[in-house]
């Protein structure tokens, strides 16, 4: 009996707490709002919807006037990393972006256990050092956009090679996007 009485008192007390109901919406005077609530939200450009079952959005990285900049593209989910990296040889049509990745420099690209292994042709050794830094940054930033890739290792003739970091120092072993984020356009 005591439990029933206590439950009834608690239910009545909680029922009295809450927001009073109204029959219709009531306008709020904008001058009574805190300053930030009265501001108009900035507008954004919506990205067209994609068919998530068969396609995905990826950022491809290119060289801009102030650093590396991305161009968002819709790709088929079945597209392999090598095919995506091949598209870096040519910047998007009509853009001010350029590429440092020469055509046919990416021989292959495989993904296993969170690491992409990118095989570069011997032609890559002929690329000027400053352009090599940009090309490697483009490849790493784009490869790490690929689902499940966090590390990128480079090979040539099947053998691991060192690659330049953003500061030009040679890095032995796998690199990450963090090795090149200081090259991103502001």
The residue ranges of every structural domain in the chain are 55-183
138 near 99, Cβ under 8 Å?
A: yes
Give me Rg for the CA atoms of the chain. 27
- Rounded Cα distance between 139 and 124, Å, is 13
| Rounded mean pLDDT, 65-83 | 92
Task: Give per-residue pLDDT as tens, 25-63.
Answer: 555 555 544 454 444 444 445 555 556 678 889 999 999
Nearest Cα neighbor of 84 from 40, 155, 133, 143 is 143
Could you give the dihedral angle defined by the CA atoms of residues 89, 92, 96 and 99, in that order, rounded to the nearest 10 degrees? -10
- Rounded Cα distance between 3 and 143, Å, is 64
Which residue matches tokens 């991103």? 184
DSSP-based three-state secondary structure for 172: coil
Percent residues over pLDDT 70 in the chain: 72
Task: Give per-residue pLDDT as tens, 6-22.
Answer: 444 444 444 444 445 55
pTM tops 0.85, yes or no: no
What ranges make up the beta strands (E) of the chain?
55-64, 67-76, 106-112, 115-120, 151-156, 159-160, 163-164, 170-171
User: How far apart, in Å, do the first and last CA atoms of the chain sit?
Assistant: 70
Position 116 pLDDT exceeds 90: yes
Please give the helix or strand (H or E) that residue 136 lies within, else none. Answer: helix 129-143
Which residue matches tokens 């991305």? 70
């Amino acid at each position: 009996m005591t439990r029933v009485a206590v439950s009834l008192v608690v239910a009545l007390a909680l029922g009295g707490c809450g927001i009073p109901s109204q029959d219709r919406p009531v306008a709020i005077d904008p001058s009574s709002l805190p300053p930030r609530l009265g501001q108009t939200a900035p507008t954004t450009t919506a990205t067209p919807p994609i068919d998530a079952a068969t396609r995905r959005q990826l950022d491809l990285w290119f060289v801009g006037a102030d650093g590396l900049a991305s161009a968002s593209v819709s790709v088929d989910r079945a597209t392999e990393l090598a095919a995506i990296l091949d598209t870096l040889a040519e910047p998007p049509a009509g853009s001010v972006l350029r590429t440092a990745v020469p055509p046919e420099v990416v021989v292959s690209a495989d993904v296993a256990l969170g690491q992409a292994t990118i095989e570069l042709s011997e032609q890559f050794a002929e690329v000027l050092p400053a352009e090599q830094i940009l090309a490697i940054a483009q490849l790493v930033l784009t490869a790490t956009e690929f689902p499940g890739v966090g590390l990128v290792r480079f090979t040539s003739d099947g053998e691991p090679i060192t690659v330049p970091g953003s500061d030009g120092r040679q890095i032995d072993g796998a690199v990450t996007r963090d090795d090149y984020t200081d090259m991103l356009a502001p």
